[in-house]
Amino acid sequence: MTNIICIICPKGCNLIVSENGGTIGHSCARGEIYGREERINPVRIVTSTVKISGAVHSRIPVKTKTHIPKHLISDAMRLLDDVELTAPVDEGFTVIADICGTGIPWVTTRGM
């Protein structure tokens, strides 16, 4: 049995997930799925910024387009170190196409 706090919504339900993935304590279906997945393969959306020149600010925000495995977070962050964009850049622009073989890209979260 694993105790997991659901992070899907601000309610923060306390979940108890058993070895076979059965979940109790959730208040909705999304929490049930989250509990099962979090026990075997925790994933997160990661956000950061990269350098940009010729824009109103010197950083532009980015995110992993979807969830990546938690253990890849620091490797994913390192990929951004040497990136430098030049304005104008649209929202959703691909900054890095493939994060560590996951096929998931880093994309911008605003235009600038």
Q: Which stretch binds ligand SF4 (CB under 6 A): 24-32, 40-48, 62-70, 79-87?
A: 24-32
Q: What tokens were used for 16?
A: 């108890």
Q: What tokens were used for 77?
A: 């962050």
Site size with other proteins, rule: CB under 8 A: 28
Q: Which stretch binds ligand SF4 (CB under 6 A): 3-11, 53-61, 88-96, 100-108?
A: 3-11
Residue 19 vs residues 30, 71, 111: alpha-carbon distances, Å? 19, 21, 44
Q: What tokens were used for 69?
A: 């495995």
Nearer to ligand SF4 by Cβ, of 27 and 41: the residue is 27
